[in-house]
Structure 1
Amino acid sequence: MDTLTMQPYQEETEGAENLTPRMQAFLRDKEPPQNLQPMGFTACVSGMAGSYPCENVDLLAFLPLATIGGGNGNDSWGWTGCGNREFALMGRSSGTSFVEITDPVNPIYLGNLPTHTSNSTWRDIKTYNDYAFIVSEASGHGMQVFDLTQLCNIPSPPVTFSNSAHYNGFGNAHNLVINEDSGFAYGVGTSTCSGGLHMVNIQNPLSPTNAGCFSSDGYTHDAQCVIYNGPDTQHQGKEICFNSNEDTLTIVDVTNKAAPAQLSRTGYAGSAYTHQGWLTEDQVYFLIDDELDEQSFGHNTRTYVWNVSNLDSPVLIGHYTSPIGAIDHNQYVRGNYVFQANYRGGLRILDINDVANANLFEEAYFDIYPANNNASFNGAWSTYPYFASGVVIISGIEQGLFIVQPTSLPDPNPAPCDTPADIPWLSVSPASGATAEGGSTAVTVIFDSVGLTPGEYTASLCIGSNALTTPELFVPVSLTVAPPPEIMITSPLDGSVFTAVNGANITTTIAVTTPNFTVPDDGHWHLWVDGVDTGPAYDYTQSVTLTVGTHVISAQLQYPDHTPVGPVDTIQVEVVGADIIILSPADGAVLTATNGVNITTTIVVTTPNFTIPDDGHWHLWLDSVDTGPVFGDSTTITLTVGTHVITAQLQAPDHTPLGPVDTITVTVVAGQEPMFTVYLPIILRNE
């Protein structure tokens, strides 16, 4: 292992010979990595976790791409080892990142396994025992094998890793499927086996061997391979692959790797590109996402529900249509929920309790692409929901690694009850007692939020009895710690510049928002202008008059008794005054009337911070006589011999005089009178 050097983002160049039409469509939407900052715990409150739309999902932490190796993101998977520690594995265009998330609010980037050949938009990761297996669309990449136990002790992360082993039975591969119960991997979308299942024995992970091919139905985009224990008794105990084959669900018996048998090949109405799917845990239903139907047919995100209780004749029984239009990409079932990574729609968690009737509904979501939910190939590539902790990861193509926690789902590993040591924020009184038959006793539950960060805290209390006929009762309790109240000045913005067209002052409205504090129910707020308290405000706006200059404006919440609460928000604004300046002629100028009587001259002005005619116009007075409005930056006047006072003033469109005035004095002198020489002819006569 070597110390890691971060690589700058480089655009990948994909081999045109490897690109399917779907991949070409993907590249047309490609965007560079977003310039984002790491984030810590952010609760989902009122539909938002920071800048990310959400429902029933808290953000535990976020690591931008630039902090975990750079490039664009793609696939993700998870691994638990090193004594039940949890690790996120995330693919990128230039390699694979390894992040420890045992403490999910403080993730640790451990290092990077570089791509085996060149960069590629597509990379896929799966695990078997304590090894990760990685494929890519990069030419000649093959399958990397990485010993995950190396992650148990990284003294100075991040580091650069190298392969533990490598399989070169194929070059590029679009996806990788692993059946952890059999120890076989299946490369799909490779340049071998007509793009179908390329089977690899990985029971000895450091020495993968070719085990066979299934090519009868051509290109397989993705698959799930299991030891079948579903209701079809004819195939129980066999190894079955459920293949997403571009326009069909193709089910194959791969028990005999030398002679795999296709059991069924079933198309469906509305198919555009059969992308990926996953079985329910009872192996009765298979959920498929079609990657191009949203773009092709204009409907919202659609999940197709298949009854596969007869592997020889699966039946499409219906579909779920999402309220948004994003493209669906990868989905995985855990318990009675399916976790979907739906590109611009982010993570979508659907309740599948009524899957038998194709009746799914959205329980929770976390949208990592807040701009919109359009049907474009950006945002969430994949998700992994199988950590024992219940933590879920999302890999963002332009964003990075999101670590989130669904808050409304059943605990995947419920504890029977919590002890006081487990929940210092909760106590009960009395902790024990006696009650007469038919009677009741009040028990007080005390919550203490001191020292707790904002979020939701849950516990399970046990109520036991010494009566043999009374079962133990479990009482779920929860505590929601809201973020502290705060005030934010929303208008004007910090650094705003205003123009006082009257040259003296402006009147503007200060608007605030007060998260976690309601005005006037919880109290009020005070506004300070240049340190002067303007008094309490009982709604969300206050009008102030500001003179020309720079002003510091501060706001703070106060309880009804005027006790300050929360931080002060401060902005600075500047007020500049409109003005008018006579540029020509100069003050004190002496002009010459060449005709000895008068002169015609042009008066030129400039109007800083005042736009003519949008803000108004100006008037010119000659010796106190108004010459009328001027709608440009100059006007022409005639001056007689003598001294004249010329005044210019700004006026509003309704001719209301504004403050700024400029005055000059000019003198006109008579020029020298014209002189004439007369020549008379002299005639001499000689007589």
Structure 2
Amino acid sequence: MANMLGLLDLCEELEAVAAKDQHFWAFYDSGLAMDQIMTAKLAHWEMEEEMGIMAAEFPAWHKRVRCSNGIADALPGVPGHQFKCRNMDLYSFIPMADLGCPNAMGSGSWGWTDEESGREFVAAGCYYGTSFLEILPTGQLVKLGFLTSYAALGSGSRWKELRGYKNYMVIGSELNDHGVQIFDMKKLLTVDPASPVTFDGTNSTSSDLTSHIQPSVFGRSHNVHVHNSLPYFVTVGMGPRLQGEPTCWSGIIFWDITDIENPKRVGCAGEDGYVHDIQCLIYKGPDTKYVGTDVCYGYNEDTLTIYNVTDKAAATIISRTSYTGASYTHQGEVLDKEWQQYIILDDETDEVNSRGPAADKYPVTYVWDISSLEAPKQTGIYKGTTTTIDHNQYVIGDYVYQSNYGSGLRVYDISSIPENSKGDDVCEVAYIDILPEDDGLPGGGNVTYSGTWSHYPYFKSGFIFVHTIERGAFVAKPSGAYPKCKKSCNADNCLRGMRSADKLEESKAFCGEFTKTVNVNVTALASTVPYAANACSGNVISRVSSACACLPTA
């Protein structure tokens, strides 16, 4: 419970700061909010280390484990290896020790496919460095190598984020002096799996590194992002604004990689302070003023901030917009890169802090209409089915693949959003929960920083790499075609209670107002329509929303 007490203390501190309105936004802009969240995470992970959780021994296995009756039983008869699931099978598992990080934790990951052979590879960050693996056509994970950390290990080693550019992997870390390593994944093509290679990542002149840069005076970054069509990447979150980079204030730093062996800093954007994560694209969409512009969508702790970065040396802010329930704006993606009209984003601490629609601890994804880049609007939400914290998410066609800490990889059908941007018709179509330890808790999970950190869903084979904090790495794959969301009205206790003869008129009047806004308060809902709150217990906001969609409004 020590970690939860620390998070509760953080929550109280955040609320106290919020009460001092004139200082609230500065608290975010300075990067102090991020520092305090990192402190809470460190306390939790150090507690897990002290309890021996990071040192737990899990056997590797390589076989297809079918999702049957809601369970993927990897090791029948062995407790702790039965994973809740829906429409998702498991194929392989390698524990953290075998990845090259014994008694330590995992973090970000990314994938690469060799165009000539079609072979699929993964780079998986962990405390000691970066592990390189191949996913064989059978789904089996095979370790090929390990890239050592650039700097001496420390608390910041727990954070690594990676992105791919052509056949190169861009690797950043919160570790002081680590900088950004750029590694050529083609080096893995000739490695014999029987003799994995240790690559020297400690020296910028090492032949094992293609190149190396220091993004700030501290040599650390929280995230890296590679543009999807232009030869540059960005580093964001370079340490606290008040102590770190004197010109970019932990915002965006642009690195030209036309010559990948010699990345060049070509500009920065620090006007909105600390940037946690980002997506940069050539704009295509309904806002004709910006068609062809290079834009970045920044997930900036308390806002969605949109930048015009066509001129890297003079980037400007197009808009900066917060939302009800904002606690820590974390990450998101546009639904369609070819027509950028909608964005979905997650907030990493709204569940922890019981903010807005996440007051019931079920994870919330926020839906935005960005038809006007200068005036984006949050239009709706959709919610997860298990109490947990949502993390990184990536859109592929009609689906979004989202890492949730304690409840694993979740897949949602988001194809309805262009027709209904309130999010009412979004539904969960698949998942694999790789942290069975918290399944028995109320709500089906724990709202804390254990479980899944990252995943990579882009392989043509359909295999999905899932990287965890404590256990190790999994390979999953959909059991088959995902089901479509049902838009019909299923009469559960919630709907029956709200449309009962003595409550129907009251429910219709309530729903008429309820459906006009996305600003939902769980406590207010319970006091306004207590009969609905009682009948729609559990994930109350989602259940009431579904019921209201099935009732004619007054």
| TM-score normalised by L of structure 1 | 0.56
Deviation at 1:104, TM superposition (A): 4.4
User: How far apart in 1 are the matches of 2:111 and 2:435?
Assistant: 22
Judge conservation of contact 1:94–1:118 (CA < 8 Å) in 2. no
The answer to whether the aligner puts 1:79 opposite 2:112 as a matched pair is yes
> 1:175 & 1:229 partners in 2: Cα distance?
25
**Percent pairwise identity:** 39
Deviation at 1:283, TM superposition (A): 1.9
Is the counterpart of residue 25 in structure 1 residue 47 in structure 2? no
State the secondary structure of the residue aligned to 1:294.
coil
Q: Which residue among 208, 212, 225 is the counterpart of 2:280? A: 225
Q: Which amino acid aligns with 2:344?
A: L
How many angstroms apart in 2 are the aligned matches of 1:388 and 1:103? 11
Q: Which amino acid aligns with 1:394?
A: V
Aligned partner (choices 53, 65, 69) of residue 100 of structure 2: 69
CA distance 1:64–1:189, shift in 2 (3 Å): same
Checking the alignment, whether the CA contact within 8 Å between 2:393 and 2:400 is kept in structure 1 is: yes
1:410 is displaced (CA, Å) by 6.1
Correspondence for 2:479 among 400, 404, 407: 407
**Mapped pair 1:59 → 2:79:** no
SS in structure 1 at match of 2:85: strand
Structure 2 residue aligned with 1:48:
71
Alignment match, 1:137: 174
**In the TM superposition, what are the counterparts of 1:499-514 in structure 2 within 5 Å?**
none
Q: Which residue of 1 aligns with 2:541?
A: none
2:521 corresponds in structure 1 to none
- Paired with 2:391 and 2:450, the residues of 1 have a C-alpha distance of 11
Say if 2:87 and 2:482, in contact at 8 Å, map to a contact too. Answer: no
> In structure 1, how many angstroms separate the alpha carbons of the residues matched to 2:411 and 2:138?
20
| Stretch of structure 1 that moved more, 157-166 or 44-53 | 157-166
Please say if residues 129 and 180 of structure 1, whose CA atoms lie closer than 8 Å, have aligned partners that are also in contact.
Answer: no
**What aligned pairs does 1:582-601 form with structure 2 within 5 A after superposition?**
none
- Alignment partner, residue 36 of structure 1: 58
The CA deviation at 1:391 is: 1.1
Q: 1:296 to 1:18 in 2, by over 3 A?
A: closer
Task: Write out aligned runs for 1:283-432 (5 A).
Answer: 283-297=340-354, 298-299=359-360, 300-356=362-418, 357=420, 358-359=423-424, 360-372=426-438, 373-409=445-481
C-alpha distance in structure 1 between counterparts of 2:286 and 2:386, whole Å: 34
Q: 1:408, CA displacement in angstroms? A: 3.7
Q: Residue 19 of structure 1: CA displacement?
A: 6.3
Opposite residue 341 of structure 2, the aligned amino acid is V
Runs ≥4 residues deviating over 4 A: 16-19
For 1:185 and 1:264, the matched residues in 2 are separated by 22
* Secondary structure of residue in 1 paired with 2:323: coil
Question: Using the alignment, how far apart are the partners of 1:309 and 1:291 within structure 2?
Answer: 25
**1:404 and 1:363, CA in 2 relative to 1: closer, same or farther beyond 3 A?**
same
Q: 2:198 pairs with 157, 160, 172, which one?
A: 160
- Offset at residue 118 of structure 1 (A): 2.9
RMSD of the alignment, in Å? 1.7
1:58-107 alpha-carbon deviations (Å, 9 max, x no partner): 00111111111112100011100152110111110111111011324322
Distance 1:268 1:17, change over 3 A: closer
> What is the Cα deviation at residue 137 of structure 1?
0.5
2:228 paired residue among 180, 188, 210: 180
SS of equivalent residue, structure 1 residue 296: coil
Which residue of structure 1 lines up, in the alignment, with residue 292 of structure 2?
A: 237
Match of 2:133 among 82, 99, 110: 99
Higher RCO, 1 or 2 (CA under 8 Å, sep at least 6)?
2
Change (3 A) 1:17 1:352: closer
TM-aligned CA deviation for residue 18 of structure 1:
11
- For the Cα contact (< 8 Å) 2:210–2:260, is it kept in 1? no
Letter aligned with residue 136 of structure 1:
S
Question: What amino acid does structure 2 have at the position aligned with 1:121?
Answer: R
Q: Partners in 2 of 1:90 and 1:301 — Cα distance?
A: 25
Asked whether the 8 Å contact 2:296–2:307 carries over to 1, the reply is: yes
1:407 CA displacement: 2.1
Residue 164 of structure 1: how far off its partner (Å):
2.3
CA contact (8 A) 1:98 1:111 kept: yes
Amino acid at match of 2:61: M
Letter in 2 for 1:87: F
Partner SS for 2:447: coil
Q: Hey, what's the Cα distance between the residues in 1 that align with 2:433 and 2:183? A: 31
The one-character-per-residue Cα deviations of 1:137-168 (angstroms, maximum 9, x if unpaired) are 00011110101110110034311013221112
Pick aligned residue for 1:147 from 170, 173, 184 = 184
2:152 aligned to 97, 105, 118, which one? 118
Partner of 1:637: none
**Maintained 8 Å contact 2:326/2:350:** yes
CA distance in 2, matches of 1:180, 1:409: 27
C-alpha spacing 1:17/1:262, structure 2 compared with 1 (3 Å): closer
Taking the aligned partners of 2:427 and 2:477, their CA distance within structure 1 comes to 19
Q: What is the distance in 1 between the residues matched to 2:363 and 2:481? A: 22
Q: CA deviation at 1:224?
A: 0.7
Decide which structure has greater strand share: 1
In structure 2, C-alpha distance between the alignment counterparts of 1:220 and 1:198, rounded to whole Å: 10
TM-score, with length taken from structure 2: 0.69
Where do 1:466-615 residues align within 5 Å?
none
1:409: Cα distance to partner? 3.4
Match of 1:514 in 2: none
> Distance in 2 between the 1:228 and 1:239 partners?
6
Assess if the C-alpha contact under 8 Å between 2:232 and 2:258 holds in 1.
Answer: yes
Unaligned runs of 5+ in 1: 1-15, 412-687
Q: Given residue 72 of structure 1, which amino acid in structure 2 is its aligned partner?
A: M
1:353 match: secondary structure: coil
* Residue 304 (structure 2) pairs with residue 249 (structure 1): yes
Once residues 292 and 104 of structure 1 are traced to their aligned partners in structure 2, the CA distance between those partners, rounded to angstroms, is: 38
SS in 2 for 1:23: helix
Closer, same or farther: CA 238–325 of 1 in aligned 2, 3 Å = same
Aligned partner (choices 161, 165, 169) of residue 128 of structure 1: 165
The one-character-per-residue Cα deviations of 1:228-261 (angstroms, maximum 9, x if unpaired) are 1122111111111100000000000111001101
Q: Secondary structure at the match of 2:65?
A: coil
The letter for the 2-side match of 1:189 is G
**Among 143, 168, 182, which residue is 1:109 paired with?**
143
* CA–CA distance in structure 1, aligned partners of residues 349 and 183 of structure 2: 33
1-structure distance, mates of 2:378, 2:152: 40
8 Å CA contact retained: 2:174, 2:220? yes
SS in 2 for 1:172: coil
Displacement of 1:25? 1.9
Structure number with greater Rg is: 1
In structure 2, give the amino acid aligned to 1:102: L
Classify the secondary structure of the residue corresponding to 2:289.
Answer: helix
Report the alpha carbon displacement of residue 325 of structure 1 after superposing the two structures with TM. Answer: 1.2
Higher helix share: 2
**Does the CA contact (< 8 Å) of 1:333 and 1:339 recur in 2?**
yes
Contact 1:61–1:104 under 8 Å retained in 2: no
